[in-house]
Structures are given as structure tokens and as C-alpha cells.
Structure 1
Amino acid sequence: MFVSMNARHNAAFTALLAAALFGATTPLAKTLLGSLSPFMVAGLFYLGSGVGLAFGILIQRLRRKTGERENESRIQLTEVPWLLGAIATGGVAGPALLMLGLSSTPAATSSLLLNLEGVFTAVIAWVVFRENVDLPIFLGMVAIVAGGIALSWQPGASGVSVGALLVVGACVAWAIDNNLTRKVSTNDAMVIAGLKGLVAGSVNLGIALLMGAHLPGVGKMAAAMLTGFAGYGVSLVLFVVALRNLGTARTGAYFSVAPIFGVALSLVLWPEIPSLLFWVATALMALGIWLHIRERHEHPHTHEVLDHNHRHRHDEHHQHSHDFEWDSEEPHTHPHQHAPVTHTHAHYPDIHHRHIH
């Protein structure tokens, strides 16, 4: 029983693709929305994410068979507080604190401070939620964060102002969001991301309008919402799937490479010779990713009795019978119970391996 190399690489690729989509949003926002207020930008991006995913969910459910609709994963009542907490911290508090901080903080300083999100995410995962951390994972996280600092470093950027503290507060809010989202990551990732987008979009758009901003023209609004759908919506769906398979700290580390994708796209849109710090950052982030991918965490561990509902195949962790007529189609979704078992194999802190070490 083991986690195959392909499965490990697929999980890492999912997180990196989420980072690439999110990172590409920044330069695209610059080309599309330079004249709009920060809260209007955030509102349209999140709203585009929520509306786009809502249509996706509708189409997905219309295409499902009756049996699949009956068994599809639904957010349980006990999970609602976790989801509400994630939406409040990551969809409302985080963007609001960032926008307020950006209004009085130099861009270079803000870029440096935003690297703290990955650090806070990992620290909360390791200290509060007791997610395991091995030395290569810790060193990989350090390398990725160092790469982010090198990428955004500008000599002369200094000062810890109120605005800077607000940006730090945004990083803390998003770090809490990442850890709370992990608690509901077995559910439909599109539903989770869609709910976040609709709530965050409505709140930020409401704030923008109350502050006197006006909606842009139809063309610019559509471009903004489409950008948000890809960079915030699809990216968040992939992020939730990665949380399910990798755990919070590892997913947060991969997601921290997002700025390198943004800078790379900027160099394509506005061609120039990359600076030395760009290559230093690329090398450090590549080192961090390599340290994470080569991880092999293996030890005897015990799975306690676990009842949950998510899409799965009948792999080594899903050897159960069905109390309904099954057409042998995989993957499928239905409530199922995991019997207690003790075994040894390589694994991540995924939804089936959240045990204490």
C-alpha cells in the first residue's frame, strides 16, 4: 500500500496550476482595470469567480444521473462553522485588510509582506492543527519564501506603518482561511469556491459602491469577471483539491510560488531583460518545489473509524461494500465508513492521514 509517484506528482501539479492561475491575475488586472478602485477590482474578481462557478455547478448537476445526485457530497451541519469561518476570514476580512493596507503602503513593501501568507499558513497548520512537518518540507518552505522575498525585494523599501500592519493582518486572515478550508475540503470544491466568491464579491462590491465608486462599462466588467473566474475561481477549486490531497502546509508552500508566474507573464506582456533577482528567486523556488516533491513520509500509522462522503475509487483506503446497487463506475460518491486499520506506506497529510505523530 503506497502513494504512487504519479499521484504525488498530480497532487503537486494541481497546487502549482492553482498558483499559476492566481499569479497571472495580477498582470492581467493591470492591463484591464488600472482605472478602477481596489475594492471594485476585488468585488468584480470575486463575483466573477462565484457566478462562473455557480453556472459550472448547475451544468454539472444537470448532467449527473439521478443516483449520482442522490449520493453527491453535501456540506454537513457540523462543517458549516468551518466554512463560514473560512469565508469570513478569507473572503471578507482578508481582501478588506489588504485593500486598506495598499492605500497607504508602497507596492514593494506590500509585495514583501504578502510572502508571509505562506509562512502563517504553515505555522498554523503545524502548531494548531498538528499537521506533520519533516525537515525537507521545512527547508522547502524556507526556500520558497526566500524566493518570494528575492522576487519582490527593492532596496529602500522600509518602514512598518499602520498600512503594513494591515497587509500583515490580511496574510493572517488568509492563512486562517486556508486552514479552515482544509476542514471542509472533502466536499465539492466548486461549491466551496463558489460560495466564497459570491459572498466576497458581494461584500467588496458593496464597499466599493458605498465609497462612491461606479460600475465600469459592460466590456471592462465582463473582462474583470472573466479574469476573476480563472484567477480566483478555478484557482481556488484547484487549491481546495490540493488541500484534500496534500494537506495545508504543503499546498500553501506550492501556492506561494504564484508571484513567479505573475512576473513571468509580465515579462511576456511588457518584454524586458529579467533581473538577477528574478533568476535567484526562480532557483530558490525550484529548490523548494524539488524538496517537497521528493518527500517520502512513511511510518506505521493507524486509521481510526471514519465516516464521510466524497468522490473516491476503491483503492487501498476504500475497501468497502455498498448497500445500494452499484454499476461498478469509478470514481463515485456516497457516504461510506472506513474500518480501523494499521499499516505502513508513504503518504501525505491528506483527508485520510490526519493522524498525530
Structure 2
Amino acid sequence: ASLQRADLPRLIAMAGFGAGVGPVALAWGLQHTSGTSASLILTLEALFTAVLAWRLYRETMDGRVWAAMALLLAGGMVLVLDQGRTGGAQLWGLLAVLLATAAWGVDNTLSRALAERDPGQVVMTKALLGATATSALAVAIGEPLPSALAAAALFAIGATGYGLSLRFYLLAQRAFGAARTGSVFAFAPFIGAALAVALGDRSAGGLMALGSVLMLAGVVLHLAESHGHEHEHEALEHEHAHRHGDGHHDHQHDPVPAAEHSHVHRHPPIRHQHPHVPDAHHGHRH
């Protein structure tokens, strides 16, 4: 489904948090803390996303998920303690990265309502808004233009780490919901930490190892959560990409499309039981 005018305030908020506050805080934080600890603290993005999705979109938070969030929080506290022991500058750098994770958690949760929109349009609009905001900030503080080589490297990072990543994130949110998608993406910081060590970062110690184990356990525990019960769907009319034969889209076509397609369609009231995730059709309360 295409973006609508009513989506603009949400897109502006997403760009402000996800393409403004998040990258700026991360860039400053990376200059003042180790790459390994910064990568690992980014795992807390899953914690912020899950709690906000629970509060705003009624996504499931059972005992297992709460335990997973507690492990993530404990791991983050261990990392903060570790950096606090190494000096104030390192701690402030880590807290800046923590601010970035909170900003991206808000961004992730706001994007939940746009998961059924055309992801290409969402990415392009958010990129335009975010680039405008950060460019204005750079001009305001007198930041010099980067060299051609640095600009090319930044463009490649932005196109893959932000643009392509956001496209995949939105597609995943359609199937998993915001919280579980956040946990899947929380594996990325562990890859970043491993690369930091491989590139020569030797700041990792016992506390950092403990924090990483706690966080990894939290991510795995969250992804292992399974959810199914009898639930009721109210009558609903909306537009999004869908297929037939999934138990929720049995409206008539002549002929029935074999591939995924998008149009306005209506769901009659229904009550049934099956395993499910908090997608566009399962926002019921528990």
C-alpha cells in the first residue's frame, strides 16, 4: 500500500529519532568508547523496542519475554559498569550509544504502523527527511564537507546499514511484529563486536564477556517464545500486501491471484485458535 498524507507526522517523528538523534548520538559515542562495548550496548535496542511495542501496540509480553528483557537489561548494566571502571570519557561515550539505542527503539516502534506501506516509499521519505535534518545540523555547527573517498564510504554505509536494513526491517515487522523483529536484528551487534575484536580492539575483559553472554541469552530466549490461543477478530477493512490461504484472507477474486498482491479488502468477524504473532491482524489484548 502507498504512503498517505496522514503518515507524514509519523514519518517526521521516525526521521527525527531514527535518522537524527540516533546516528548523531552513535557517531559521538563511537569516538569516546570502545567499538566492542558500543556494539554490544546496541543490543538494548531490542529492549526499548519490545517495551514500547508492548505499551503502544499490545504486543505479547509473557513471563519468558520479561525474563529475556531482564537479561538484556542486566547485560547492559554490566557493560555500563565495565566502562565506568575505565574512566569517565568511556562511560559518557557508552551512554551516548545507549541514547542512540533508545532513539532507534522509538523509531522501530513508530514504524510498526507503517509496516504494511510500500517499504521503498517509507525508506526514501525517511532518508530525505533525515538527510535534510542532519545536513542542516552539520551546516549549523560548521562541519566541513567530507572528502570524496569518505563520502563514498558513508554513502555505502548509509545505503546498506540504514536504507536496505530498514527495508528488510519493515518487511520483517509485517510477519513478526516490532518486538520480535527487534530481537532478530539484535544479533547484528554481536557481529559488530566480533569484527571490532578482529580489527584489533583489545578492550574486552571479564565484565564485557559477562555482559555479552547475558545479552545473547536474552535475545535467544525472546526468539524462542511461542504464542497461541483462541482469539477473536473484529470486522476490519484495510489495505496491505497479502496472499490467500493463510486463514485470514478468504475474500473472493476471479481468478484468485497466485502471488502476493495489495488492495483494499474486508475481514468479517471470526473467532479461531492458532499460533500467531502480533502482525496487522493480531493486535488483540491479553
- Could you say which TM-score interval applies, normalised by the shorter chain? 0.7 to 0.9
1:343 is matched with which residue?
Answer: 272
Residue ranges of structure 2 left out of the alignment (5+ in a row): none
Q: Is contact 2:41-2:79 (8 Å) kept?
A: no
Query: Does residue 1:216 correspond to 2:146, yes or no?
Result: yes
1:333 is matched with which residue?
Answer: 262
**SS at 2:115 equivalent:** coil
1:317 is matched with which residue?
Answer: 248
1:298 is matched with which residue?
Answer: 228
Q: Is contact 1:306-1:339 (8 Å) kept?
A: yes
Task: Describe how 1:1-357 pairs up with structure 2 within 5 A.
Answer: 73-98=1-26, 102=29, 106-107=32-33, 111=38, 116-147=44-75, 153-154=82-83, 156-157=85-86, 169-270=99-200, 280-281=210-211, 283-314=213-244, 315-322=246-253, 326=255, 328-357=257-286
1:3 is matched with which residue?
Answer: none
- Tell me the TM-score normalised to structure 1 length: 0.67
Q: Displacement of 1:130 after TM fit?
A: 2.4
Return the alpha-carbon distance in structure 2 between the equivalents of residues 290 and 83 of structure 1: 31
Q: Is contact 2:43-2:187 (8 Å) kept?
A: no
Q: Is contact 1:301-1:343 (8 Å) kept?
A: yes
Q: Is contact 2:228-2:276 (8 Å) kept?
A: yes
Q: Displacement of 1:280 after TM fit?
A: 4.3
Residues 149 and 240 of structure 1, relative CA distance in 2, 3 Å threshold? farther
Query: Could you say what the CA RMSD is over the residues aligned between the two structures, in angstroms?
Result: 3.4
Residue ranges of structure 1 left out of the alignment (5+ in a row): 1-72
**SS at 2:126 equivalent:** helix
Q: Displacement of 1:183 after TM fit?
A: 0.9
Return the alpha-carbon distance in structure 2 between the equivalents of residues 267 and 207 of structure 1: 32
Return the alpha-carbon distance in structure 1 between the equivalents of residues 260 and 173 of structure 2: 19
Return the alpha-carbon distance in structure 1 between the equivalents of residues 220 and 41 of structure 2: 24
- Tell me the TM-score normalised to structure 2 length: 0.81
Give, as a single letter, the amino acid of the residue that structure 1 aligns with 2:251: H
Q: Displacement of 1:230 after TM fit?
A: 0.9
Return the alpha-carbon distance in structure 2 between the equivalents of residues 176 and 334 of structure 1: 29
Q: How many residues align?
A: 281
CA deviation profile, 1:42-83 (whole Å, cap 9, x unmatched): xxxxxxxxxxxxxxxxxxxxxxxxxxxxxxx11234433322
Return the alpha-carbon distance in structure 1 between the equivalents of residues 169 and 18 of structure 2: 13
Return the alpha-carbon distance in structure 1 between the equivalents of residues 95 and 224 of structure 2: 36
Give, as a single letter, the amino acid of the residue that structure 1 aligns with 2:222: H
**SS at 2:106 equivalent:** helix
Give, as a single letter, the amino acid of the residue that structure 2 aligns with 1:316: G
Q: Displacement of 1:235 after TM fit?
A: 1.1
**SS at 2:57 equivalent:** coil
Q: Is contact 1:257-1:285 (8 Å) kept?
A: no
Return the alpha-carbon distance in structure 1 between the equivalents of residues 94 and 207 of structure 2: 23
Q: Displacement of 1:292 after TM fit?
A: 2.7
Of structures 1 and 2, the one scoring higher in RCO (CA 8 A, sep 6+) is 1
Residues 264 and 98 of structure 1, relative CA distance in 2, 3 Å threshold? closer
Q: Is contact 2:44-2:76 (8 Å) kept?
A: no
